[in-house]
Amino acid sequence: MWTERYRPLSIADVVGNEQAKLEFIIWLDRWKIGAKTALLHGPPGVGKTALVEAAARERGYNLIEMNASDARTEAAITRIVGRAAGETSLDATIEGSERNLIFLDEIDGLFGREDQGGVGAIIDLIQRSRSPVVLAANNASEPKLRSLREYCITIRFYEIRPPLIVALLQKICQLEGLSVDSDVLKMIGRSSSGDLRAALNDLQRLAQGRTVLKKSDIPFVSERDRNLDVSRTLQEIFESSDLARALAVQRSSQIDYETLHLLIHDNLPFVKRDVVELSEAYERLSEADVLFGRIRGEHWGLLGYAIELMLSSALSEGPRRATAPALKLIPSKFIRLARTRSERELLESISTKVGKNCHTSRAIAKRDILPYLRIMLENDGDAAEDISTYLGLDDEMIEYLSGREKGPEA
Amino acid sequence: MSFSEEAAMWVEKYRPQSLEKVVDQRETVESLKILLKDPLTMPHLLFSGPPGTGKTTVALCIARILQGDLWRDFTLELNASDERGINTVRERVKSFSRHAVGLLGNIPFGLIILDESDQMTAEAQTALRRIMETSFRTSRFILICNYSSRIIEPIQSRCALFRFSTLKTEDIARHLQFIAKNEGVNTKEEAIRSIVDFSEGDLRRAINTLQAATAYAREQPLDERVVTKVVGQAGPKEVRNMIQKAMSGQFEKSRELLYELMTKHGLAGSDIIRQIHREITRMEEIPAKEVADLAQIVAEYDYRLVEGANEDIQLSALLAQFARFGSPHRT
């Protein structure tokens, strides 16, 4: 892998983002126990991890690294890093002057919905740590990271400008003894959207087994287009007849796989009109979902299979349809949740009250008590009032429970 | 019988306040009484059994026995399915046991009733086990669950396990009759019988049905017809409708109904799938020999629902299988 072979060894070798590099080094050199942690954020492939690794090497830190592809539970963070955080002084006395730098990479991917405690564990780590802690994320404005921000200085990384990318690619071509058209390098630089890692990968893939690379050697598909929007992504995936193509589309799409999963689900019945086809597609989509469930922040090795299963549910078998159906571009689940928010909140507060008074959970209140409560409130004036008072229901709640289902039947 | 007169919900008004009044569960109650003779040696307790068989009631009775009138101050009721993860439980238990230490007096220990504890993940249960150990000096846990097999071994081995069995139909009937008489409801024998049939051994459901049916009947006598109406209204009609739509090939409509169940009724995927299962055995249009095949599909997707990440997708996939099953050119 060229991305490994040409990993920057020193801070100076890290390409671009000079301002961010400076801020980071100043922070690291001035760090003492109790100081804020550094949160590096910016798009993928712009050198966040590379900078931390180079800085650790140059400043003589032992780098303790953990990222989203490791176990991500609170327990794991505490176990893996907490040990190092709390006991460095002990280690230091034994092993000499070794210093640790703790690096939690990709923290925006760090917490599945199961892990409410994850952010808390990180905050705990920051506060207890006797070593500097660095966090990296693609998107620092993620709501789940909000509570972290008061413990951090944030350092912003930007896309690498194409000329810098091209210059680096040129250098690497020389080192590899590769003769490449400057047009080709420019094309790679442009299509990388500022992602140096992607550019390097593209170059390696194109140059594989060659010593000369001309413009005419470049197949159309090699252009990395991160800007495939929702509509085009879906259309192309539903039109793909083989998995390789669908995968290529997915890779160059803006949509994350979770949203894509929901959108395939939403659109399946419009694309697969035949019941047998539909049920087979759903079967795969459901299997993909089972894998996503198992991944849940831990078994990242399964992600590839899950994505393949998900995409294979959408492949088209028969000939192209003359008229493409109008596809839904926003997951219906999001729309539904937004539209029914106030109703759901009301339902939650009713079930909380009922649950408290009847010694059950909200879920059981909803399932086993509310249906009867509705009938009681719909039908009997006096008792209805007693019940509402007893449960502490306000007018809005009573109206919701008694009024809504008043059909012709009653 | 003493009851909480102020309670307008009959399930609460007629909830027994002493162990003697608990319906059925004689053996369980007798062995509990022996344990309670010397409260200080009481271990943690684990109650398992189907819904509406008296687990929470017995737990609350124990709170009264151990803590008298102060039970509300020294008993913490938690629901595993309501709490956001084990940390909340840990925090609440911690602050609770801090308070309990200072105030004990005649109270042997604080009591934590953790309902639906089989809803917790194995990791959360492991954490719970630690909490149970570290707080043993000040607190006892009563864990309540439907299936004790879903409780991890280390917790089971630290608890005295009590199984609650489904209530006998004649005992449910007697209890309903008592309530009806006390409330001055004009009920027919057949109405009681059909409530009992419908409640499937769940006393909470039986009492709720009786109260709803009483409200529905107003001044009229409560007969079988009223019960049938109420039972029909209480079970979401959308479930059967959704199955019918799917099996007649109207997948999109069926999926819409599914969404409605999830939002309007706020039902969890696991509840919906259980209702689907119940409905397919009751729908007359489904031939008996096909029920088993459908049940097999339901079972498969129930499993996937537990394992998977997204309820919308799993339940929709189930409906798609139903659509295929119902199609005339089934392969």
Which pLDDT belongs to residue B253?
A: 95
A369 CB neighbours in chain B (<8 A) are 11, 204, 208
Which pLDDT belongs to residue A321?
A: 54
Pairwise CB contact (< 8 Å): A361 & B79 = yes
Rounded-to-integer distance, Cα B220 and Cα A367, Å: 28
Say yes or no to pLDDT of A97 above 70: no
Which of B12, B76, B82 has the most A C-beta neighbours within 10 Å, making it the best mutation to test the interface with A?
B82
Average pLDDT score over chain A: 82
pLDDT digits (tens, 9 = 90+) for A355-376: 999 999 998 999 889 999 999 9
Average pLDDT over residues B186-210: 92
Rounded-to-integer distance, Cα B78 and Cα A204, Å: 58
Which pLDDT belongs to residue A166?
A: 92
A293 CB neighbours in chain B (<8 A) are 307-309
Coil/strand/helix, residue B115: strand
In percent, the amount of chain B with pLDDT more than 70 equals 94
Compute the nearest-CA separation of A323 from chain B (Å).
20
Which pLDDT belongs to residue B315?
A: 97
pLDDT digits (tens, 9 = 90+) for A145-193: 778 888 899 999 998 988 899 999 999 999 988 888 888 888 888 777 7
ipTM: 0.85
Average pLDDT score over chain B: 88
Say yes or no to pLDDT of A222 above 50: no
CATH 3.40.50.720 fits B25-163, yes or no: no
Which of A73, A264, A282, A345 has the most B C-beta neighbours within 10 Å, making it the best mutation to test the interface with B?
A282
Q: Which of A51-55, A216-220, B156-160, B173-177 has the lowest mean pLDDT?
A: A216-220
Amino acid at A109: G
Question: What are the helix (H) ranges across A130-217?
Answer: 162-176, 182-191, 196-207
Rounded-to-integer distance, Cα A397 and Cα B295, Å: 37
Pairwise CB contact (< 8 Å): A279 & B271 = no
Rounded-to-integer distance, Cα A361 and Cα B16, Å: 20
Q: Which CATH number fits domain B169-234: 1.10.150.120, 1.10.8.60, 3.30.470.160, 3.40.50.1980?
A: 1.10.8.60
Q: How many helices (H) and strands (E) does chain B have?
A: 16, 5
B79 CB neighbours in chain A (<8 A) are 355, 360-362
pLDDT digits (tens, 9 = 90+) for B256-310: 999 988 988 888 898 899 999 988 988 888 888 899 999 999 999 999 998 898 9
Pairwise CB contact (< 8 Å): B218 & A379 = yes
Q: Out of A289, A333, A344, whose CB is closest to B314?
A: A289
Instruction: Give residues with Cβ within 8 angstroms of A235, minimum separation 6.
Output: A324, A327
Pairwise CB contact (< 8 Å): A348 & B56 = no
Assess B230–A contact: CB distance below 8 Å, yes or no. yes
* Fold category of B237-326 in CATH: Zinc Finger, Delta Prime; domain 3 (1.20.272)
Compute the nearest-CA separation of B7 from chain A (Å).
6
What residue spans define the domains of chain B?
25-163, 169-234, 237-326
Say yes or no to pLDDT of B99 above 60: yes
Nearest partner of B282 among B256, B249, B244, judged by Cα: B244
Nearest partner of B312 among A362, A316, A261, A113, judged by Cα: A261
Which pLDDT belongs to residue A225?
A: 52
Which pLDDT belongs to residue A192?
A: 78
Rounded-to-integer distance, Cα B13 and Cα B3, Å: 6
Confidence class of residue A82 from pLDDT cuts 50, 70 and 90?
Answer: low
Q: Out of B81, B251, B304, whose CB is closest to A361?
A: B81
Compute the nearest-CA separation of A230 from chain B (Å).
19
